[in-house]
């Protein structure tokens, strides 16, 4: 039987990928409101992670690096307080990046 060994290295790589995602492309940053594509996790889960001067993040700027970001997903996330903006759609503002990384890793990490 094959068993997977877990280390802290994938977590560090996920933080780098998350910061890269939040920076966005040049075309996304010149728009009045920067909107990034959804995060796709290895298990197929998708959700929105946004950071700009118009989102609930810190710092509130277009370029980062960010300490927290805004997360939007279908269904509640244990341990976070958010707003149900539509039936079954929750927005979580100022979520610390390590907490977002934990959510991504709980779904197998970034899909590559």
Output the six-digit token pair for 2.
Answer: 């094959």
- Residues 55-73 as b/e (b if ≥16 CB within 10 A, e otherwise) read bbbeeeebebebebbbbbb
Average confidence (pLDDT) per 10 residues, the chain, 112 residues: 43 75 68 81 90 92 90 89 92 95 90 74
- Which pLDDT score is estimated for 78? 82
- Which pLDDT score is estimated for 79? 83
Q: Are 22 and 69 in contact (CB under 8 A)?
A: yes
Backbone angles phi, psi at 96, to 5 degrees: -60, 140
- Which pLDDT score is estimated for 112? 67
- Which pLDDT score is estimated for 6? 40
Distance CA 52, CA 13 (A): 22
- Which pLDDT score is estimated for 30? 60
- Which pLDDT score is estimated for 94? 97
Q: What is the pTM of this model?
A: 0.79
- Which pLDDT score is estimated for 32? 66
Residue 7 gets the label, from left (phi > 0), alpha (psi -120 to 50) or beta, of: beta
């Amino acid at each position: 039987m094959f068993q997977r060994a877990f280390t802290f290295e994938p977590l560090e790589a996920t933080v780098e990928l998350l910061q890269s995602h939040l920076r966005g492309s040049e075309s996304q940053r010149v728009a009045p409101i920067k909107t990034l594509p959804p995060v796709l996790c290895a298990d197929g889960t998708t959700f929105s992670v946004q950071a700009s001067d118009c989102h609930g993040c810190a710092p509130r700027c277009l370029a980062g690096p960010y300490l927290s970001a805004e997360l939007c997903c279908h269904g509640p996330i244990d341990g976070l307080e958010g707003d149900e903006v539509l039936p079954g759609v929750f927005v979580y503002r100022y979520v610390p990046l390590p907490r977002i990384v934990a959510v991504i890793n709980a779904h197998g990490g970034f899909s590559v």
